[in-house]
Amino acid sequence: MTIDPMKLRQVSVFQNATDDDLKLIARHAIERSIEEGEFFFFQGDNAVYFYILISGRAKLMQMNPAGQQVNLRTISEWQMFGALGAVRENATYPATAEALEHSTALAIKSDYLRELMQTRPYLSFGLMKLMTSYIQEMQERYRELATEKVERRIARVLLRLTSQMGVKTKDGSIELTFTRQDLAEMSGTTLYTVSRVLSEWERQGLVEAGRERVLIRKPHGVVQIAEELNP
């Protein structure tokens, strides 16, 4: 697959790049395709490359010393991930990146982006905004875990996923593809609790839940739960 360098402007960090810069970046990119369940990199590996997903979906997850897994976020097309090595020399990846379906990404040397940043301030600002958005998301999730009821946490995760990867259907529903275990990890609860909550919402006509997908039939109803609004 040959990538049109101008498509790289869809990446938030490269929005203000010149055409010449986009061509330079594309010239240094290596295309890498992997199957569902395979990995772009593992937590603790040297962050030699950063990645731009150009097709498919992936997830970032962390493992603690006890072997428990936590899903951090879902990566959609034209999102950058694994970029810590571009801002910190000799960094290691803080998370593992797993493909959720057949996926292709551009791999670019972290030190090359670090070199470009010396003379292109827009890259530094773009990366700073990206990292800040990650920090804000993590702070929000921590606050939710500490203070909010599980139903509201699950609803908020669904809304976050909707903005990141939701597909609108012809009837106005929103389709999300992930497992119930993924949803449990992202909302800080158990598989049993997620199944119980989704079953209740399905009874109310808010969602239609399968093994590896959720169809949000009434998005406003999920917003009401997330924001604790009166129906």
Compute the C-alpha angle 89/94/100, nearest 5°.
Answer: 125
Span 5-144: which CATH code?
A: 2.60.120.10
Same-fold call for 5-144 versus 149-227: no
pLDDT tens digit sequence for 96-155 = 999 989 999 999 999 999 999 999 999 999 998 888 888 887 787 777 776 778 999 999
d(CA 85, CA 105): 17
d(CA 53, CA 106): 6
Quick one: pLDDT at residue 114?
93
Quick one: pLDDT at residue 162?
87
Quick one: pLDDT at residue 185?
82
Given a cut of 50, the residues of the chain with pLDDT beneath it are none
Nearby residues of 75 by Cβ (< 8 Å), 6 or more positions away = 53, 57, 58, 59, 60, 81, 97
Quick one: pLDDT at residue 122?
93
Q: Which sequence spans correspond to the domains of the chain?
A: 5-144, 149-227
User: Is domain 149-227 annotated with CATH 1.10.10.10?
Assistant: yes
In which element (H, E) is residue 50 found?
strand 49-55
- Read off the pTM: 0.71
